[in-house]
Amino acid sequence: MNAIVAPAATLDRASQPIGQIAVELPGSTAVFRRLKLDFCCGGQIPLQEACDKKSLSVDTVLAELSLLDRPEIQSVPQAPAEMIDHILTRYHAVHRQQLPELIRMARRVEAVHRDHPEVPKGLADHLEAIEVEMLEHMAVEENVLFPLLKAGGQGMAAQPIGVMREEHTSHGQQLEQLMALTNDATPPQGACNTWRALFAGIDQFSDDLIAHIHLENNLLFPQFESTRSGCC
């Protein structure tokens, strides 16, 4: 089995403080937690040193972190079947990775900093509610709507598309509540690395979900709706 090699551009991370990586690279906290690398209280030391202390290969860790990098610009296929495949890999799979880790970090922040005046009380519960709703929503798309659209729609797509649009509106309302709970994903001055990583991850999740909804509402669904009035 061939070893995964980190791209050259990621090698600079070896000299970065592990806490800085946790804050700047959403998803990295799950990697560090699994490898038992302390990015919070011990987050001031370079990744290389943290890996050495755990007898881990920094190259292997860097390669895994590189999988979390996302290009600034991604071309979106215009053909419905290819666009659906893009949605599944770029958004559905990503949301399934994002939410459990955000919930875990939110629980920790709420517990450790429960006496802090700016602790986001109720954040973990709200993220769990988002996760439940989104998992149900994505399952319907994957098992009902997307197969129908890939088969051509056949004039039967309008009703399930309408339901999905209504649920997208609910997702948007949940995002507004999420931003209110987190002061627009802005951590307080002096926040620990876990708190900062949590809010950075929430900011990324928000951007991803907005782009996800836009892609479906404004690019995919209209291809199967004969006439629509009004805005999404």
For residue 75, give the amino acid letter. Answer: S
Residue with tokens 């991850």: 201
pLDDT confidence of residue 73: 55
Task: Please write the tens of the pLDDT for every residue from 68-106.
Answer: 887 655 678 889 999 999 999 999 999 999 999 999 999
40 close to 92: Cβ distance less than 8 angstroms? no
**DSSP-derived 3-state class of residue 231:** coil
**Separation between Cα atoms, residue 67 and residue 57, nearest integer Å:** 16
The reported pTM is 0.81
Would you say residue 230 has pLDDT above 60?
no
Closest CA to 107 of 207, 209, 194: 194
Candidates 167, 88, 90; CA nearest to 132 is 167
What SS3 class is residue 17? strand
Q: What's the mean pLDDT in 195-205?
A: 96
As beta bridge partners, residue 17 has: 46
Tokens standing for 24?
């700047």
- How many other C-beta atoms lie within 10 A of the C-beta of residue 156? 13
Distance from the Cα of residue 121 to its chain's centroid: 21
Q: How does pLDDT run across 125-180, given as a tens digit for each residue?
A: 999 999 999 999 999 999 999 999 999 876 789 999 999 999 999 999 999 999 99
Residue appearing with tokens 């517990």: 111
> Residue 104: is it exposed, middle or buried by C-beta count within 10 angstroms (0-12/13-18/19+)?
middle
